Amino acid sequence: MDLSDVTTFRAAACDLNGQMRGKRMPAAAAAKLDASGVRMPLSALNVDIWGSDIEGSPLVFETGDQDGILYPTGRGPMPMPWLENPSALVPMWMFEQDGTPFAGDPRHALARALDAYAARGWQVVAATEMEFTLVDDAGETLMPPINPQTGRRLQGHAILSIRQLDAFDAFFTDLYAGCAAMGIDVDSAISEAGLGQFEVTLSHRAAMEAADDAWLFKALARGLARRHGMAATFMAKPYAEDAGNGMHVHFSVLDAEGANVFDDGGETGSELLLQAVAGCLRAMPESTLVLAPHGPSYARLVPGAHAPTGAGWGYDNRTAAVRIPAGPPRARRIEHRAAGGDINPYLLLAAVLGAAMSGIEDGLAPPAPIDGNAYERDLPQMAPDWAAAIDRIDGSALMRRILGDAIVDNLCMTKRQEMRRLAEIPPERHWQIYLDNA
């Protein structure tokens, strides 16, 4: 992007909750980013959903709240189409002052997971399906948005409705244009099952770029919705009695020659595919906090409510948490369907891809694939609530192996603080906290 037409830019990294943390800087300072970076406290990536320091965090109280250095990730500068004044965003990630990657940075957690694939000469290709809900948040409760064509609120569901997509054509036209300007590879958009709910599928690309795309897309969708007089939320369950928002991840693995290691030429997939599936299933119960990071996330995880709660898998079975989609063998891939839309994309991909690699490293074999309704099967279950999810990941040697101690420790401290604070707030106000932050 040419910075000649902007006066300021944002240098921003991703915190544990997936929020952008950083600084607004004059455009002239952009030329120095690669060489000198931007100093910022390491603890800034480990704050709670309100942006408060974590009580007792060693990042603050044992190290004197030391600075780290943000350096560009290589994905910027890029425009910020949701702002009125021309501005640029430079995505960053955090390093220690000696140049060591900061172990508490979610993007570095994903990089470590991908290093295990690179050590075998492999590259992970991934794509995400981003579900979100357009809402009117002007009142004391969330309401469906106004249909721009009729001037009336949306009523009822509109699964795969072209008419509903066309009603919000101005928003989606700006959304696609914004994606193109920001370098986000976007594919299809559909009207989903929920009231005012839509899904945009991002294109397959290298896994780190796919995570970048998902993080940037959430900021873009939220910002553009505000310009169109609405809010776009990725909350896992915007309405108690309606469909929740998920984020499905598709991934395959290519060898040095570009061949798909999950492809055995047949319908079942290779032994490596089955090992990766087994790893994903093994880690799912202990990784619930990554898949459902907030208190309200657990309203979505209700058996039979079209959100997988059991660690099962199947071929072309959308009731299973891990699905092997139909298609030609060369396109064989894994679809991980358990996460809510309110996740941190870097932590999610780190957990899913790290779990798959753990299955390969340990030579695991999955149980038999599920035919029929997975919700009716007796399967290992995800944690039933927020407190249990925190305790599970805290005590999980497997998740510490996958994500690292720093991420797990900081995540647990953050979520326990959020749990204490959220308990003091009336439930009817919880949506106000998470609407723009999940």
Cα torsion angle, 263, 204, 103, 353, sign: negative
Neighbours of 203 (CB within 10 A): 15
At 56, the pLDDT band (50, 70, 90 cuts) reads confident
| Residue range 358-416, pLDDT digits in tens | 999 999 999 999 999 998 899 999 999 999 999 999 999 999 999 999 999 999 999 99
Instruction: State residue 49's pLDDT score.
Output: 97
- SS3 letters across the chain: CCHHHCCEEEEEEECCCCCEEEEEEEHHHHHHHHHHCEEEEHHHHCECCCCCECCCCHHHHCCCCCEEEEEECCCCCEECCCCCCCEEEEEEEEECCCCCECCCCHHHHHHHHHHHHHCCCCEEEEEEEEEEEEEECCCCCCECCECCCCCCECCCCCCCCHHHHHHCHHHHHHHHHHHHHHCCCEEEEEECCCCCEEEEEECCEEHHHHHHHHHHHHHHHHHHHHHCCCEEECCCCCCCCCCCCEEEEEEEEECCCCCECCCCCCCCCCHHHHHHHHHHHHHCHHHHHHHCCCHHHHHCCCCCCCCCCECCEEECCCCCCEEECCCCHHHCCEEECCCECCCCHHHHHHHHHHHHHHHHHCCCCCCCCCCCCHHHCCCCECCCCHHHHHHHHHCCHHHHHHHCHHHHHHHHHHHHHHHHHHCCCCHHHHHHHHCCCC
When mean pLDDT is compared across 106-110, 208-212, 243-247, the lowest value belongs to: 243-247
Asked if the bond preceding 101 is cis, omega within 30° of 0, the reply is no
pLDDT, average across residues 271-278: 98
- DSSP secondary-structure letter at 29? G
192 or 401: whose pLDDT is higher?
A: 401
Sequence-distant (≥ 6) Cβ neighbours of residue 394 within 8 angstroms: 408, 412
pLDDT > 90? residue 57: no
Q: Could you tell me the end-to-end alpha-carbon distance of the chain, in angstroms, rounded to an integer?
A: 28
Mutual orientation of helices 271-283 and 345-361 as an angle, nearest 10°? 120
pLDDT, average across residues 122-141: 96
CATH number for the segment(s) 114-434: 3.30.590.10
Strand-pairing partners, residue 233, are 133
pLDDT, average across residues 70-99: 94
Residue 250: which region, alpha, beta or left (left: phi > 0; alpha: psi -120 to 50)? beta
Percent of the chain past pLDDT 70, that is, above it, reads: 98
pLDDT > 80? residue 156: no
CB 61 within 8 A of CB 44: no
Instruction: State residue 304's pLDDT score.
Output: 60
At 305, the pLDDT band (50, 70, 90 cuts) reads low
Domain definitions of the chain by residue range: 3-102, 114-434
pLDDT > 90? residue 261: yes
- Look over the chain and give the mean of its residue pLDDT values, rounded to a whole number: 94
Instruction: State residue 1's pLDDT score.
Output: 67
When mean pLDDT is compared across 20-34, 54-68, 230-244, 320-334, the lowest value belongs to: 54-68
- Whether the predicted model's global pTM rises above the 0.85 cut: yes
Q: Which fold has domain 3-102?
A: Ubiquitin-like (UB roll) (3.10.20)
pLDDT > 90? residue 159: no
Instruction: State residue 2's pLDDT score.
Output: 66
When mean pLDDT is compared across 105-119, 189-203, 269-283, 309-323, the lowest value belongs to: 189-203
When mean pLDDT is compared across 155-169, 231-245, 255-269, 359-373, the lowest value belongs to: 155-169
| DSSP H or E run through 216 | helix 207-227
At 76, the pLDDT band (50, 70, 90 cuts) reads confident
Instruction: State residue 64's pLDDT score.
Output: 74
